[in-house]
Amino acid sequence: MKRTNLILMLLTLCVSLFAQPVTLTFTGRDAKNQHVQLNRVVITNLTQNWQETIYYPDTILMMGSTGIDEVDHANGMKLSQNVPNPFDGTTDFALQLPEAGKVSLIVYDLNGKKITAYQGKLAAGVHTFRVLLNTTQSYLLTARCGSEMATIKMINNGNAGENAIRHLGEANLNMMLKGGKGTSNKPFAFGDNMIYMGYAMINGKECVSQNVEKRQLISETITLSFDNYPPTVTTAPVTEITSHSAMSGGEVQQDGGSAVITKGVCWSAKANPTINDSHIAAGSGLGSFVSALTGLTYGTTYYVRAYAENGMGVSYGNEQSFTTVAITPPVVTTAVVSDITNNSATCGGTIQDMGSQITGRGVCWSTSPNPTVENSCTNDGVGAGTFTSSIKNLDHSMLYYVRAYAITVDGTFYGDEKSFKTQEAKLAMAVTGEVTDIMTIGANCSYTVIDMGTYVTARGVCWSTQPNPTVSDNHTTDGIGAGTFTSQLTNLQRVTTYYVRAYATNSDGTAYGDDKSFTTLGGRPCTVAPTVTDIEGNIYNTVQIGAQCWMKENLRTTKYADGTPIDQGNSTSTTVGYWYYPNNSSSNKATYGLLYNWKAVMRNLSSSSANPSGVQGICPTGWHVPSDAEWTQLTDYVGSQSHYQCKDNSSNIAKALASATGWNSSTSTCAVGNVQSENNTTGFSAVPAGGYFGSYSGFGDYALFWSATENGSHDAYGRYLYYNNANVHRFNDTKYDGFSVRCLRDN
């Protein structure tokens, strides 16, 4: 049924016994004011709080009385409360008259000032009026007819632009909604605030109209405007059809209310092509365009559609179909493969020209069947005839597939497939030795080369951050011949794991030794425990420094290893174990861990000066709180290693232990905050979490760590790093302060 509108019948009962219909006609219009067939209209009554949907073509809904069909003349004049109240500048009310008479309506402000008025002679019945006010305040509306008078209070919160009272006409006050398929029994009153919204399929997409919101009073036609929808596009006929190309295009006739961002054509050997198939763009905006369809297959039927896209989506034009011109392809025959070695072979082919000019020929090969020119191939000239091809750079002991090919204007054509296996190579032997003299940016690696009857033309070692490096990665070139040698690996990144292996090259290819790995200085994970997980599931990286295996990160648990919770602190204490957020911010926990007072760290265990301390305390199972002696072991070891020292001073080791970021800046040479990118050669990664001393202090300045060793009943030892200093300092502080914790692995 071809219809472009929906009709909503609203029947309003007058004060007589006979109904007078009030009709609403819904019509859909696009951005060019052309008709749009509505699928459905959603009607919402905001005043009565209900919603109804009418569907095409069942469009008839009726508004009927709720039972008050006649005015009760014995009850005299009645003035209804205005709706809505409060209101934004405009409101409506009804006046019921038992008999005809002269009516006076006056609006006063609360000071008694007359604002606006209406006078007129009205018939018996119910009359509706509209009040418009331009000042936000409260008002009184007084109605007089003969000796009768009534008053209501109104509250205005808006500006209608004028002060006026207008007579709208006669109506009844109570109506109800009935549907073409039955009565919906939803209440409706004259002047209810309504919203109308339409839905329609436009260019393949369901679109929604602009809302129409109004207080419904009279019969009218309501236009539902569709301002945004996919573009309207048509497809041009297909022309200039060849065996491999054609021309088409289209026209974008409407932009759907928003700019057309791209347009073009799409095609496929299947019906209804989309932009997910082959397509070509042809600009943007409205208007006609022409597009070339290329890369087609001869003798094939294709389907093509124009497309256009705006912010609402992609739409397609009508479908066109065409068939490319059929041709007779050349006859291609692949020659027998000969002269097979460990890395090369000879092949070729014969081409019979069947009417198409041969613009390219050769053979292509791959380790997978049906190789194409997208794989490895030779280029052996043009024209028909017989040719020979040299296949090079093959891998030894490998099965290959090869086909001859011929290129014409109509495409690429292939001969029958042949297969062959390369010979086993006589590679040299390369043996990777030990990696020694490991530094932050360099290392040495020894290796041995043994020739197996074919002279070694290149040798050395290659390395990468990925296993099994090759000569395509970083490598040394150490000359020719067999023997035992040592290569220097340079320009390495610190705290990085590398893989290294020896190589030796002869005429049959390149042989590699075993893959070995090493980590440059700046810290390497503990071999026995690269990570450790606490009771809460927090995972910590570890670092091996000398004979000690340390956590590489600050502790951040809120529970002991047996699951017992630790209280969060908001004050200092020597009797209750507390944890604190660094700088009082939970966002710091991931990077800086948590701060703890000594009571939380020790968990009622006694002080220890032993090495190891034997105090698990707050640490995970298998780990312990380091004693003062164990901290000394760490600093003594780092100070004894020249590559950890700053300016060859065994005391200047703070930078070697400090993280490379997060510190406040310093201009002092060898200070932690000076050239921070040079920090952390040990990988210890001390971060400046500061401390808690009754208040939070030192964030960005200090890294403070507890030990398990006390100094009397009130104090305990620890170590700290300071942004403006080059040394690691031993401190003696009160037990109620909050500092960071690093755990050591048990021996």
Per-residue pLDDT reduced to its tens digit, 317-343? 999 999 998 888 899 999 999 999 888
Asked if the model's pLDDT at residue 128 lies above 80, the reply is yes
| pLDDT at residue 9 tops 60 | no
**Predicted confidence band of residue 218 (pLDDT cuts 50, 70, 90):** low
pLDDT (average), residues 108-123 = 93
**Most confident among 206-210, 436-440, 461-465 (mean pLDDT):** 461-465
Among 36-40, 97-101, 550-554, 659-663, the least confident range? 36-40
Least-confidence region, from 256-260, 404-408, 471-475: 256-260
Note the pLDDT of residue 183. 39
pLDDT above 90 for 678: no
User: Integer distance in angstroms from the first to the last C-alpha of the chain?
Assistant: 88
Contacts of 637 (CB under 8 A, 6+ apart): 545, 546, 547, 548
Q: Give the CA angle between residues 147, 152, 153 to the nearest 5°.
A: 145
Average confidence (pLDDT) over 371-375: 96
Q: How far apart are CA 492 and CA 471, in angstroms?
A: 17
Structure confidence at residue 365 (pLDDT): 97
The rounded distance, in Å, linking the Cα atoms of 334 and 345 is: 14
Is pLDDT larger for residue 150 or for residue 72?
150
Residue 354 predicted with pLDDT over 80: no
3-state secondary structure of 713: coil
Q: Number of C-alpha atoms within 13 angstroms, CB side, residue 497?
A: 8
Contact call for residues 170 and 190 (beta carbons, < 8 A): no
- The domain 331-421 is placed in CATH, from the list 3.60.20.40, 2.60.40.10, 3.30.1490.20, 3.40.630.10, at 2.60.40.10
φ, ψ of residue 71 to 5 degrees: the values are -80, 135
Task: Give the pLDDT confidence of 473-508 residue by residue, as tens digits.
Answer: 999 999 999 999 999 999 998 778 999 999 999 988
Supply 351's token pair. Answer: 């081409």
Which pLDDT belongs to residue 258?
A: 87
How much is the pLDDT for 508?
82
Q: State how far the Cα of 267 lies from the Cα of 253, in Å rounded to an integer.
A: 21
Residues 272, 305: contact at Cβ < 8 Å? yes
E-strand stretches of 245-367: 246-254, 262-268, 278-281, 287-293, 301-310, 313-316, 320-323, 331-334, 345-352, 360-366
Instruction: Pick the closest to residue 672 from 653, 691, 651, 649 (CA basis).
Output: 653
pLDDT in tens, 552-590: 999 999 999 999 999 999 999 999 999 999 999 999 999
Q: Is 592 helix (H, G, I), strand (E, B) or coil?
A: helix
Band of pLDDT at residue 169, cut at 50, 70 and 90: confident
pLDDT computed for residue 19 by the predictor: 33
For the stretch 132-158, pLDDT in tens is: 999 999 999 999 999 899 999 999 999
Question: Which of these, 213, 230, 199, 163, lies nearest to 39 by C-alpha position?
Answer: 199
Q: Looking at the predicted structure, is the pLDDT value of residue 13 above 50?
A: no
The pLDDT value recorded for residue 173 is 37
Handedness of CA 659, 661, 667, 669 (dihedral sign): positive
| CA 217 to chain CA mean position, Å | 49
Lowest pLDDT segment from 10-19, 101-110, 166-175:
10-19
Mean pLDDT of the region 296-310: 93
Domain range list for the chain: 5-66+177-225, 77-168, 232-323, 331-421, 429-519, 531-745
> Quick one: three-class SS letters along 530-577?
CEEECCCCCEEEEEEECCEEEECCCCCCCECCCCCECEECCCCCCCCC
Higher pLDDT, 63 or 698: 698
Architecture of domain 232-323: Sandwich (2.60)
What pLDDT, on a 0 to 100 scale, did the predictor assign at position 746?
96
Q: Which residue has the tokens 């990118």?
A: 677
Smallest CA-to-CA distance from 167 within 143, 185, 187, 147 is with 143
Share of the chain above pLDDT 90, in %: 67
SS3 694: coil
The confidence score (pLDDT) of residue 747 equals: 83
77-168 fold: Immunoglobulin-like (2.60.40)
* Domain pair 331-421 / 429-519, same fold: yes
pLDDT tens digit string along 614-666? 999 999 999 999 999 999 999 999 999 988 999 999 999 999 999 999 999 99
How much is the pLDDT for 80? Answer: 81
What pLDDT is attached to residue 524? 84
Q: Please report which confidence band the pLDDT of residue 75 belongs to, taking 50, 70 and 90 as the band edges.
A: low
- The answer, as to whether pTM is greater than 0.85, is no
Residue 59: pLDDT over 90: no
CATH topology classification for 429-519: Immunoglobulin-like (2.60.40)
Contact 338, 370 (CB under 8 A): no
Q: What is the DSSP string of 311-330?
A: TTEEEE---EEEEPPP--PP
**What pLDDT is stored for residue 220 in this prediction?**
66
pLDDT of res. 57:
63
Instruction: Provide the pLDDT for residue 277.
Output: 95
Mean local confidence (pLDDT), 429-455: 89
Work out the pLDDT band at 71, boundaries 50, 70, 90. very low
Give me the chain's average pLDDT, please: 88
Instruction: Assign 346 a pLDDT band (cuts: 50, 70, 90).
Output: very high
